[in-house]
């Protein structure tokens, strides 16, 4: 345990112990080993226990991390310009947001689209966490001043989609497989129990699909460890097949394949987030710590193409937000010496700065039909 991290209180420790006991039982039931993807699924999503469904605060100053929509409504206002272009070419003008977090993005999108005269007829939210769903409802009641859009919460994906699908920092929370190649042999990294504690373990990789993905993506360097995420790719492909017209707007942190599987990145990208600290111990306080892995955007683009979509654009978050006019939205906040402007300017700086979110986060637009991409500079060639 990293000594610099804040300590959980007694109630949080008890919750983590319940999660750990649940995972221990699953490992025992599986014969002493589970793949890491299953471990991550359990600690994040086990019913009533996992990180995203256990009831603790996840987002904002009181949680473990802050996402872009929580920084400023100008983020949603900028995305609204791109979504306006998507909705213009769709018949039903529907927005489907997956994993809507605190609801801040939905509120700012609805307000900005209403101001542009492009309010969607339906705003659908697919959210597995009951706690987050309640928070989203409260946020929208308090902040969404736009009227006329029908807001619905879904328990499963709709059969057809006509409009825009928004995935803001969603794919990084889908559990990946952790794969090791050592001396020419392939192994799946997983979790076992040693002296009552979770520990890394390995077994020969027998999943043919996962092995095929890794073998075509890993560099020649031996002794290499990284992630592949067939579940994230399958989700994008499913959404693509169900999209009649419109686009998928995907915002997350990650790299195109040549950078993701760089020969010098030999330990993968898996990290944990706890109380605004990043750590590298996936077994730290299970159920209290978020776990994420970066996105292979090339794999996500290929998944969309297999479903009949095309890459309408790929850019850094900074390039995308600037192309969507976030600086124009900032100027509308008020005089440069006002408190509102100063706060908004600090948030925009964090969103576009290369040292903050501007370069590591990327934006991918996968479209069916002719949809313009509004980024300043398109990096599709790097995919």
pLDDT digits (tens, 9 = 90+) for 61-116: 555 567 899 999 999 999 999 999 999 988 888 999 999 999 999 999 999 999 99
Higher pLDDT, 274 or 171: 171
pLDDT computed for residue 55 by the predictor: 59
Number of neighbouring beta carbons within 10 Å of residue 157: 16
Sorting pLDDT into bands at 50, 70 and 90, what band is 60? Answer: very low
Mark 187-211 as b/e (b = at least 16 C-beta within 10 Å).
Answer: bbbbbbbeeeebeebbeebebeebb
List the domain boundaries for the chain. Answer: 10-382
- Determine the Cα–Cα distance for residues 89 and 321; give it in Å rounded to an integer: 21
When pLDDT is averaged across residues 159-183 and rounded to a whole number, the result is 97
Where is pLDDT greater, at 269 or 1? Answer: 269
Mean pLDDT, rounded, for 189-201: 97
Pairing of strands 271-274, 277-279: antiparallel
Looking at residue 149, its pLDDT comes to: 75
| Torsion from C-alpha of 340, 98, 306, 181, nearest 10 degrees | 90
- Asked if 329 and 84 touch (Cβ cutoff 8 Å), the reply is no
Phi and psi at 243, nearest 5°, equal -85, 115
Residue 382, Cβ density class (10 Å: 0-12 exposed, 13-18 middle, ≥19 buried): middle
pLDDT in tens, 355-370: 999 999 999 999 999 9
Residue 25, pLDDT score: 98
* Non-local CB neighbours of 3 within 8 Å, separated by 6+ positions: none
**Confidence grade of residue 52 (pLDDT, cut at 50, 70, 90):** confident
Mean pLDDT of the chain: 93
Q: DSSP E strands: which ranges in the chain?
A: 34-35, 94-98, 122-126, 150-154, 161-168, 177-182, 185-194, 197-204, 224-228, 243-255, 271-274, 277-279, 290-292, 295-296, 310-316, 361-368
Tokens (6 digits) for 17 = 């112990």
Domain 10-382: CATH class, spelled out: alpha beta
Burial class (CB in 10 A: 0-12, 13-18, 19+), 305: middle
What span, in angstroms and rounded, lies between the C-alpha atoms of 244 and 76?
Answer: 24
In this predicted structure, the answer to whether residue 148 has a pLDDT above a threshold of 80 is no
Integer Cα distance of 255 and 382 in angstroms: 9
Nearest one of 164, 324, 320 to 248, comparing CA atoms: 164
- Report d(CA 44, CA 51) in Å as an integer: 4
Label the pairing between strands 224-228 and 271-274: unpaired
**Is the pLDDT confidence value at 17 over 80?**
yes
Q: Which of 89, 49, 51, 76 has its CA nearest to residue 370?
A: 89
Q: What is the largest CA-CA distance in the chain?
A: 64
As a whole number of angstroms, the distance between CA 194 and CA 5 comes to 24
pLDDT band at 2 (very low <50, low <70, confident <90, very high): very low
**How many other C-beta atoms are found inside a 10 Å radius of the C-beta of residue 268?**
19
How many Cβ atoms from other residues are within 10 Å of residue 87's Cβ? 26
User: For helices 339-352 and 73-87, what crossing angle results, to 10°?
Assistant: 60
Report the pLDDT value the prediction gives residue 3, as an integer from 0 to 100. Answer: 47
pLDDT digit string (tens) for 285-325? 999 999 999 999 999 999 999 999 999 999 999 999 999 99
Q: Is the pLDDT score of 211 beyond 90? A: yes
Q: In the prediction, which pLDDT does 58 show?
A: 52
């Amino acid at each position: 345990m990293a000594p610099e991290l804040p300590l959980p209180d007694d109630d949080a420790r008890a919750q983590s112990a319940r999660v750990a006991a649940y995972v221990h039982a699953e490992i025992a039931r599986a014969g002493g080993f589970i793949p890491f993807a299953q471990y991550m699924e359990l600690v994040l999503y086990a019913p009533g226990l996992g990180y995203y469904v256990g009831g603790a605060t996840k987002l904002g100053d009181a949680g473990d991390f802050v996402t872009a929509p929580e920084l400023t409504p100008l983020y949603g206002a900028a995305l609204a310009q791109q979504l306006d272009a998507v909705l213009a070419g769709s018949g039903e003008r529907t927005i489907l947001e997956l994993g809507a977090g605190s609801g801040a993005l939905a509120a700012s999108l609805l307000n900005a689209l209403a101001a542009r005269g492009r309010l969607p007829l339906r705003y659908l939210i697919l959210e597995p966490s009951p706690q987050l769903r309640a928070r989203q409802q409260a946020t929208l009641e308090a902040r969404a001043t736009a009227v006329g859009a029908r807001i619905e919460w879904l328990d499963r994906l709709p059969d057809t989609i006509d409009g825009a699908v928004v995935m803001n920092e969603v794919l990084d929370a889908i559990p990946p497989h952790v794969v090791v190649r050592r001396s020419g042999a392939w192994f799946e990294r997983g979790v076992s129990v040693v002296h009552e504690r979770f520990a890394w373990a390995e077994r020969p990789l027998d999943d043919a699909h996962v092995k095929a993905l890794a073998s075509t993506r890993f560099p020649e360097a031996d002794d290499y460890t990284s992630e592949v995420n067939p579940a994230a790719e399958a989700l994008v492909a499913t959404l693509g097949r169900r999209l009649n017209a419109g686009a998928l707007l995907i915002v997350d942190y990650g790299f195109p394949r040549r950078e993701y599987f760089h020969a010098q990145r030999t330990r993968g990208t898996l990290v944990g987030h706890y109380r605004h600290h990043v750590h590298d111990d996936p077994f730290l306080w299970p159920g209290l710590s978020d776990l994420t892995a970066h996105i292979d955007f090339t794999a996500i683009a290929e998944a969309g193409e297999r479903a009949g979509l095309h890459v309408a654009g790929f850019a850094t978050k900074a390039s995308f937000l600037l192309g969507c006019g976030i600086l124009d939205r900032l100027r509308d906040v008020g005089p440069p010496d006002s408190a509102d402007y100063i706060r908004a300017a600090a948030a925009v700086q964090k969103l576009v700065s290369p040292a903050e979110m501007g370069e590591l986060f990327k934006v991918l637009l996968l479209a069916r039909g002719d949809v313009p991409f509004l980024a300043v500079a398109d990096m599709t060639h790097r995919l």
